[in-house]
Amino acid sequence: MSLCNLTVIGVVCAILIAVFLKLWKWLTSGVDIVDRIAIGAAYGLIRKLDLTIVCTRMKSRSRILSDFFQEYRNMDYVLMELDKPRNQAYEEAAKQVFLSSCPKQGSNAVTWLDIGTGPRMFLSQMLLKNPTTKHVHAVEANTNSYEQATLLQQATPILKEKIPLHQRFSSSIEWGKCDPAPTAIIHDVLGTIRRLSSIFSILFCGTPNISGDIGVQLLFNPPMKVALCTSAQFIERFESLNIPADDLLSQTIHFTAENIRETEFADFYLATYVLTAKNLEDGEGIINGFKQSTNWDVKYVSLVDKLNKVKVKRGDKIKLCFETDRTQGFPIYRFKASVNDVHLPVLEI
């Protein structure tokens, strides 16, 4: 056998070993390769066909705080990691933090707080790519995710050096006393109703004690577009209303039905509408659930059953009320609606 052939065989073996080690790293870090391939293909097909995915109707359901954080599966994290619009928005938000921090504090100035970091600390690792990141405090309340993140951290020198990992709720730590104290926040859960649990997975762990206001990621919690609709299948027949980002889910919205034929109202759509900077109006860094395919899919919220729908015609006065209850340690959202003072049943999710 010639020296050339031996060289080729050696190169091929090296490549195979490298591929095997890469696959082994994936497996040992808890990534389901089948999930990753399937979800990546699904995202690609949705974008190619320009589809809008609408979740089935949401219903009231009771739950406890432990369930709220412990029911995440590996697929949920893969959905987020492969979500290009979401990741681009987070990168844009982080870039704004870096730009605002550097002139004031010099290089290596930003210490982040990553709330709900997940098994692979995806956002924390994204932040470390920027040289202005000093440390990232990664918080994870989910037991399984924390254990996987710990294995990854211990096996990766830069993560071990730069990312202190905390297994608890972010509200249980006095962040101002940490050394270094975080000056910016990023988190992985925002503005979505979980497909499986039929609840809002909106992060709420109390007000973190952050030193100063610089670099706090200005993701309003959660700006959404609300649309009057007649069914979950035909999204093109609705009267839409753009709601201001300020104080959503804590205000009552009044509007008049226009440009619609007589129809029946019992439901509406919710689509995530996320701004990555305050007063950002040019569209850059914005996630719009009606226009972009993300893991924050459009939700169909039903207030009454089909037999009790309310007749709606042009000129009718419609009122939607969103209330937030944070007394249980996690958010409960109450949706109330009325048409010409005819009140629909209250929905809690």
pTM over 0.75? The answer is no
User: Is 157 contained in some domain?
Assistant: yes
Residue 240 lies in a domain: yes
- Residue 156 and residue 96 share a domain: yes
284: closest CA among 101, 96, 49? 96
Q: Which residues of 180-200 are buried (b: 16+ CB within 10 A; e: fewer)?
A: ebbbbbbbbbbbbbbbeebbb
* Shared-domain flag, residues 26 and 94: no
Q: Are residues 38 and 95 in the same domain?
A: no
pLDDT at 336: 79
**3-state secondary structure (DSSP) of residue 46:** helix
> Within this chain, do residues 344 and 316 fall inside the same structural domain, yes or no?
yes
Confidence at 178, pLDDT banded by 50, 70, 90: confident
Average pLDDT over residues 37-56: 70
Question: Does residue 338 belong to any structural domain of this protein?
Answer: yes
Residue 200 lies in a domain: no
pLDDT at 48 over 90: no
| pLDDT-derived band at 172, boundaries 50, 70, 90 | confident
Q: Are residues 240 and 143 in the same domain?
A: no
Tokens matching residue 209? 């004690």
pLDDT of residue 333: 64
Q: Which residue has the higher pLDDT, 18 or 196?
A: 18
Assess whether 231 and 158 both reside in one domain: no
Q: What is the mean pLDDT of residues 314-324?
A: 74
Q: Are residues 85 and 182 in the same domain?
A: yes
Q: Out of 48-57, 195-204, 302-311, give the one with best mean pLDDT.
A: 302-311
Residues 7 and 75 in one domain: no
Query: What pLDDT does 152 receive?
Result: 93
pLDDT for 181 beyond 90: no
By three-state DSSP, how is residue 315 classified?
coil
**Residue 194 is assigned to a structural domain of this protein:** no
Mean pLDDT on 168-176: 74
pLDDT interval class at 338 (50, 70, 90):
confident
**Mean of per-residue pLDDT scores for the chain:** 64
> Please, which pLDDT band fits residue 21 given cuts at 50, 70 and 90?
low
Question: What confidence tier does 4 reach under pLDDT thresholds 50, 70, 90?
Answer: low
Distant-in-sequence, close-in-space partners of 100: CB < 8 Å, separation ≥ 6: 214, 215
Q: What share of the chain is helix, strand, coil (3-state, %, to 5)?
A: 35, 25, 40
Let me know whether 244 and 281 are in one domain: yes
Comparing 90 with 300, the larger pLDDT belongs to: 90
pLDDT digits (tens, 9 = 90+) for 81-104: 888 877 877 777 777 777 766 555
Answer with the residue of higher pLDDT: 98 or 248: 98
Q: Specify whether 342 is located in the same domain as 296.
A: yes
- Lowest-pLDDT choice from 9-18, 25-34, 200-209: 200-209
Q: Residue 44 belongs to what domain range? A: 3-52
Q: How many domains does the chain have?
A: 3
